[in-house]
Amino acid sequence: MKELPAGAKDLNEAKKEKGPTGSGDYTSEELFRGTREIIIEHCGQHYRLQITRAGKLILNK
């Protein structure tokens, strides 16, 4: 289990402390918010990230 930064009470609070440019860990539940597909824009390109019926992730351009 990862150690939380000093003063952080839980993982969500630790993520907030990193700020908008810091790296962070996100669960698929946080990213997908109840859907099975999201669109990610990266360097002007759009990518589709899907959860399969088997629970695996597929990334398509």
Amino acid at 24: G
Position with higher pLDDT, 53 vs 22:
53
- CB environment 27-39: b (16+ within 10 A), e (fewer): eeeeebeeeeeee
Q: Which pLDDT score, from 0 to 100, does residue 32 have? A: 95
Take residue 21 and report the two structure tokens written for it.
Answer: 């440019």
Q: What are phi and psi of 18, to 5 degrees?
A: -70, -25
pTM, two decimals, is 0.61
Confidence of residue 10 (pLDDT cuts 50, 70, 90): low
Domains belonging to the chain, first-starting first, are 28-61 (2.10.70.10)
Q: How far apart are CA 51 and CA 46, in angstroms?
A: 17
pLDDT tens-digit readout, 25-60: 889 999 999 999 999 999 999 999 999 999 999 999
Q: Which pLDDT score, from 0 to 100, does residue 55 have? A: 96
